[in-house]
Every structure is written in C-alpha cells, then in structure tokens.
C-alpha cells in the first residue's frame, strides 16, 4: 500500500471510516489515516526545506522553536541546516 500517494491513502482511510461497521474497523482506518497524514507532513517539511524554508519558519507553523522543529522533523528526513 505504500506505493499509493499519501493523499490517496488519506482519502481511502476517510472513506473507510465512513463505512466502517464497528469501532475496531474505525480504529484501523484512523490508524491508516494518521500514518498517511504523518507521511504527507514529513514530505511537505522536506519540500519546504528544499525550497529554502528555515527551521524557524517551519517551527512557527507548529508553535515550536527552531530546535523543536529540527528535533521533531529531522528523523523524518528533514535537512539539518
């Protein structure tokens, strides 16, 4: 499933939540939604960094310091500079 784009996986998970027949099915769809959203977020942080965004700018979006943003997203593939 990882070959699908995160946006398509988000849409599929949202659709699954709508038609789920019980709490466990909804929970599984919610987990897939969270994982896809995290992947999308990490990709957008990386794209922002490649486009020249600073860690200060990225941190401001999240209410984090430069260091906080670096710590949160560095493991997700973000550049250290």
15-40: pLDDT as tens digits: 999 999 999 999 999 999 999 999 99
CA distance 81 to 66: 11
CA distance 28 to 19: 12
Which pLDDT does position 78 carry in this prediction? Answer: 47
CA 64 from centroid of its chain's CA atoms: 16
CA distance 61 to 30: 24
CA distance 19 to 39: 24
35 in Cβ contact with 58 (< 8 Å): no
pTM equals 0.81
């Amino acid at each position: 499933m990882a070959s699908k784009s995160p946006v398509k996986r988000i849409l599929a998970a949202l659709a699954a939540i709508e038609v789920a027949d019980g709490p466990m099915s909804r929970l599984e769809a919610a987990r897939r939604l969270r994982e896809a959203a995290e992947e999308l977020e990490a990709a957008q942080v990386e794209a922002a960094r490649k486009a020249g965004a600073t860690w200060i700018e990225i941190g401001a979006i999240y209410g984090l310091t430069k260091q906080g943003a670096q710590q949160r997203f560095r493991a997700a593939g973000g550049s250290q500079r």
